[in-house]
Amino acid sequence: MYRSRPNLQIGYHGCDEAVREQLVTKPDVVKESQESYDWLGHGFYVWENNYQRAFQWALDKQNRDTLITPSVIGVVYQLEYCLDFTDSEFIDILSSYYGLMKEDCVLQVKNSPKTRIYQKINITI
């Protein structure tokens, strides 16, 4: 289901200015995100061909007080192992995997222990 792509991509990473400077001076030291909200798992996220979106992401983080000075760094990268939903081969595979995942979820619900909720009632006389 995965394929290596021979072409190079351009991406933009929104971050704090200090992080950008560290990436420029020490490009081999990259902190991978390990947040629970990471869309595609832990890793280093970039906006493909979208500088403005990366900068907006950094501005949003500044508004949430999670970074000081919004900045963006451009990166050139090559996709090694990916599931590309713009490729018809992978789109076709998706429906069969969805069916398998749905069956697993149904089985998990059927086999999960049943719980009962009891409501405590206080009566004052």
Cα 11 to Cα 30: distance, rounded to the nearest angstrom: 15
Residue 118 or residue 64, greater confidence:
64
Residue 69 or residue 85, greater confidence:
69
Structure-token match 């490729």, residue found: 87
Q: What angle do CA 79, 12, 83 make, to 5 degrees?
A: 30
Residue 121 or residue 96, greater confidence:
96
Residue 101 or residue 22, greater confidence:
22
3-state helix, strand, coil in the chain (%, to 5): 35, 20, 45
| Tokens found for residue 70 | 């919004």
| Tokens found for residue 40 | 């595609």
pTM, entire model: 0.65
Cα 50 to Cα 44: distance, rounded to the nearest angstrom: 16
Q: What is the pLDDT of residue 2?
A: 55
Assess whether pLDDT exceeds 70 at residue 122: no
